Amino acid sequence: MALIQARALSKQFKGKAAVKSLSFDVIPGSVTGFLGPNGAGKSTTMRLMLGLDNGEGVTTYDGVSYRDLKAPLRHVGSVLDAKPFHPTRKAVNHLRMLAVSNDIPTTRVTEVINIVGLGDVANAKPKTFSLGMGQRLGLATALLGDPGTLILDEPANGLDPQGVHWLRNMLKSLAQQGRSIFVSSHLLSEMALMADHLVVLGRGSLIASGKMADFISTSHRNAVVVRVDNPELLTRELRARNATVVQEPDGRLAITALDSDAVGGLAHELGVRVFELSNRQATLEEAFLDATGASEEFRASMGFGSSAPGALGGPPAYGGQPGYGQPPAGYGPPAQQGYGPPPQGYGQPPQQGYGQPPQQAYGQQPPQQGYGQPPQPAYGQPPPQQGYGQPPQQGHGQHPPPPPPQPPPGREPTDDGEPR
């Protein structure tokens, strides 16, 4: 149950810094997610931590560097590649080979191969394995020495939904036993469910390190959202109290720097009728994109049909973000400017921007959710045609039916009660 301390990790490739003086801790008893855009240096960092790459800095496991660990597989288990084994060496032999090198009993080979669900194919050659099965064999390798620390690079790649669910539960269970789990993943929704702490990397430098909740709380997307009958008055008074107020395309106000109690109280003092007052919680993905937008290594130069900030292909700059101030070019004018033909860009199917992980369309809620649930265009995604969805007859001052209770964006309850 080792405390991992990475200090001043640095690595250059042909003069270009891949990792720059990176320092962070991974605390025992937690799953620490390792996030960063493509090319941020996550895999390089993990290789440095395991002494596989030559670089600067030091990583210790309870004060001992990896190269000084006796029987390292008993202390640190790692998976860095999806299929790190010879295709014709039987799975059981691959594990046996590693086990004998660290004086791990061969009975443990059978145990871990059953733990990862490969018992039926233990004597099969991995060339017949799917990517997911390869990942499972990699995980078996990592678990072989029953280590107190796991370092996993994209372990969910190739796993089917059941496999992802199994992996998540296993890692959380291992963390609850007091182990240190350090795992990178591009599946932010999965990471949101799995990780307790985060280390966020951008262009080789540390962007954030700490508890996930703290990281998400720094997102600009956290706001108090209010819909009132006199937004101009409330906006003026809020700004007089140093709050940041942004009017959204549907007329709602997104307020930061004041909490909902203060906003509600002020509205009451001003005699402003409040139709909706809620706290909008940023998702991990939103917080991640906020934090790493400027450090994306490989950014598409132009989206589909637009290269404006916030267009498809790259995270928008704050202020040009959909839902904050003016919608980006291609999304058309705000809804309140008319109810005629759908503006350009509406009606296009949602498209993933290059270089972005698949995104749940936050705010792209089905039209039946109706008034009071205006969509929040996702980064780089145009909202659905009905997005601003205010029918003409629903102007300010009208009282729409209350919206059904909704989970936070991106956290829909699953069958087992866990948010997803």
Partner 1 sequence: MIGALKYESVRIRTIASSYWMSALALVLTVAIALILTLAVNSAMPSEMSLTQVTTWVITGGGSAVGMPIVAAVFFATMGAMTMGHEYRYGTNKATLSALPDRVAVLSAKVLVLAVWVAAVSVVILLVDLAIAGAFLHNFDFTSGALRPMVNYVGYCVGFALAGFSFSAIFRNQTGAIVAVLVWPLVIEPIVLTILRAIAVNTSAHVGRIYNLLPASAGRRSMFDPYDLFASLDIPNSGIWGLGASTLIYWVAVLGLVAIGSAFFIRRDA
List of residues contacting partner 1 (CB under 8 A)? 47, 50-54, 66-67, 69, 71-73, 76, 78, 80-81, 83-90, 93-94, 96-98, 100-103, 141
* Burial bucket for residue 172 (CB in 10 Å: 0-12, 13-18, 19+): middle
| Sign of the alpha-carbon torsion through 73, 74, 78, 81 | positive
| Smaller CB separation from partner 1, 179 or 227 | 179
Q: How far is CA 164 from CA 36, 159, 171, 365, in A?
A: 20, 6, 10, 25
Question: CA–CA separation, 91 vs 305, rounded Å?
Answer: 49
CB of 114 to partner 1, least distance (A): 20
> In whole angstroms, how close is the CB of 69 to partner 1 at the nearest point?
7
CB of 394 to partner 1, least distance (A): 59
The conformation of residue 67, written as its DSSP 8-state character, comes to G
Q: Which residues contact 398 (CB under 8 A, 6 or more apart)?
A: none
The answer to whether 370 and 403 are in contact (CB under 8 A) is yes
Class of residue 393 by CB neighbours under 10 A (exposed 0-12, middle 13-18, buried 19+): exposed
Q: What's the closest the beta carbon of residue 185 comes to partner 1, in angstroms?
A: 19
- DSSP H or E segment with residue 263: helix 260-270
**Shortest distance, position 124 Cβ to partner 1, whole Å:** 14
The residue (of 96 and 197) whose beta carbon lies closer to partner 1 is 96
Shortest distance, position 307 Cβ to partner 1, whole Å: 37
- As a whole number of angstroms, the distance between CA 333 and CA 341 comes to 11
Residue 103 or 160 with smaller CB distance to partner 1 = 103
Query: Could you tell me if 138 and 100 are in contact, meaning their C-beta atoms sit under 8 angstroms apart?
Result: no
Please identify, using beta-carbon distances, which residue of 155 and 328 lies nearer to partner 1: 155
Q: How far is the CB of 155 from partner 1 (least distance, A)?
A: 14
Residue (102 or 110) nearer to partner 1, CB: 102
Whether 26 and 192 have beta carbons less than 8 Å apart is answered as no
* Closest distance of CB 138 from partner 1, Å: 8
Strand order in the sheet with 223-228: 244-247, 253-256, 223-228, 274-280
Of 9 and 378, nearer to partner 1 (C-beta) is: 9
Give residue 330's region: left, alpha or beta (phi > 0; psi -120 to 50): left
Considering the complex, state which of residue 69 and residue 198 has its C-beta at the smaller distance from partner 1. 69
Looking at the Cβ atoms of 108 and 165, the one nearer to partner 1 is 108
